Amino acid sequence: MDFPFEMTGICVGVSDGDSLLLELPGGERVRVRLFGIDAPEKDQDFALPARKKLTRLVYDKQIRVEVQDMDKYGRYVGKVYAGALYVNRFMLKEGLAWLYRHYAAGDALLAEAESRARAAGRGIWASSAPLRPRKFRSNKGNAAKEGGDAGAARHSHG
């Protein structure tokens, strides 16, 4: 498969703040991961607002995806547009995702959007120490190895 390429379809599902399900014109459904951003995980602060915002922006709408790559889970990774709106950038601008620097190195548009949200204290940046989803996943995995909710029990206040 040669990248980049473009595809369009109707968004028929949003699983979190950086992933959606797209139905292509022939009826095939494909999973799409938004390029260059990492939204909060399910049990993390701002996960619900991020998913709700992405849903409002794309669900049941015609979406254009500039596919950049395919990830190890078989999802297309792309720049997502709802009309003229560059959705990936919008999610960063609203403080509902982190810039995925490793994958989006050199993307000045995305870097500027995150920088402005951070400076304004929007969304995740309102927290004094926002935890990147990658770190959250890592911590959650370590807690599971220690016996399920051991990490949660250690930090409970009651």
Nearest to 82 by CA among 62, 108, 104: 62
Residue 158, pLDDT above cutoff 50: no
What is the pLDDT at residue 140? 66
The CATH code of the domain that includes 123 is: 2.40.50.90
Per the domain annotation, does 59 fall within a domain? yes
- 3-39 pLDDT, tens digit per residue, is 999 999 999 999 999 999 999 999 999 999 999 999 9
Per the domain annotation, does 149 fall within a domain? no
pLDDT over 70, % of the chain: 88
Q: Please give the tally of structural domains in the chain.
A: 1
Average the pLDDT over each of 30-34, 107-111, 136-140 and give the range with the smallest value.
136-140
What are phi and psi for residue 101, nearest 5 degrees?
Answer: -55, -40
From the list 75, 101, 122, 132, the catalytic residue is 75
Per the domain annotation, does 156 fall within a domain? no
Per the domain annotation, does 21 fall within a domain? yes
Rounded to whole angstroms, how far apart are CA atoms 39 and 51?
Answer: 9
The mean pLDDT of 99-109, rounded to a whole number, is 88
Domain limits for position 134: 5-141
What is the pLDDT at residue 152? 34
- 65-103 pLDDT, tens digit per residue, is 999 999 999 999 999 999 999 999 999 999 999 999 888
Rounded to whole angstroms, how far apart are CA atoms 25 and 63?
Answer: 11
Per the domain annotation, does 107 fall within a domain? yes
Per the domain annotation, does 90 fall within a domain? yes
- The length of the chain, given as a count of residues: 158
Our answer to whether residue 75 is catalytic in this structure is yes
What is the pLDDT at residue 155? 31
Per the domain annotation, does 154 fall within a domain? no
What is the pLDDT at residue 142? 59
E strands of the chain, at which residues?
Answer: 5-16, 19-23, 29-34, 37-38, 62-70, 76-82, 85-86, 98-99
From the list 41, 89, 94, 114, the catalytic residue is 41
Q: Count other C-beta atoms under 10 Å from residue 62's C-beta.
A: 12
Rounded to whole angstroms, how far apart are CA atoms 7 and 12?
Answer: 15
Average model confidence (pLDDT) across the chain: 88
Rounded to whole angstroms, how far apart are CA atoms 67 and 81?
Answer: 11
The mean pLDDT of 104-131, rounded to a whole number, is 92
Our answer to whether residue 33 is catalytic in this structure is yes
The mean pLDDT of 120-126, rounded to a whole number, is 96
Per the domain annotation, does 67 fall within a domain? yes
